[in-house]
Homo-oligomer: A and B are copies of this chain.
């Protein structure tokens, strides 16, 4: 909602800047304390919703989604992927502001993002009072069809796990094997064998084990790893194939 000073101004004049009937919504995933999180916004005096935005007249869908993401998280150059367009005519039942351009029917294009939790500083937008992380298993009732959109994003993420080693996008630079495994287990919603998991990850040949261990935990200190960017990019181009 760049360029608007107030909510009223946005309601009245948004259609000079944005295409009518079209929006993007972002399902922003992060990983923290062994659980998968999603970033949500709370409307002023209203329900929670996915962070979204509109499409400027000379802007691509991807640019619009990136802009939304930057405004909510401060992040640029992050993993962002379109996954589905939602266009039921009644998807926004109960919409207010009937008269305004924004009260009209909207088709929304869903994107999901994978971000490093610790690098995000959630920022509400003009219309919202709060912006914060929720555990994906404890998402409240969202506005319109936003629960459905979120679930579809999660499903897409699950299905694409085997082609995209998501650790690279969701974990901090240095991480442990148990952390990486928890990430997979959280996304898949099932537990995995520790030894077999490690074997497969090592076999991908995109990880470097550092000569450091993560201390501070109450037990045996695990090794730290990082991704080998060169090998990672090469593997991505060829298309990975995992089997969980």
Contacts and interface: CB of A to CB of B under 8 A. Distances in A.
Q: How many copies does the complex hold?
A: 2
Contacts of A109: 85, 87, 107
Nearest to A86: B61
Nearest to A91: B60
Contact of A19 (B57, B61, B82, B105): B105
Central interface residue in A84, A89, A109, by most chain B CB within 10 Å: A89
A82 B88 CA distance: 13
A59 interface: yes
Interface string A53-95: 0010111111010000000000000000010111111000000
A87 B60 contact: yes
A58 B19 CA distance: 19
A61 B107 CA distance: 8
Nearest to A107: B22
A88 B60 contact: yes
B55 A87 contact: yes
A122 interface: no
Contacts of A178: none
Interface string A1-43: 0000000000000000001111000000000000000000000
A57 B105 contact: yes
Given A57-B89, A61-B87, A62-B87, 16 more contacts: A20-B20, A21-B21, A22-B22, A22-B107, A55-B87, A55-B107, A57-B105, A58-B89, A59-B89, A61-B85, A61-B86, A61-B107, A82-B84, A82-B85, A85-B85, A87-B109
8 contacts: A19-B107, A20-B21, A57-B89, A60-B89, A61-B85, A61-B87, A62-B87, A107-B109
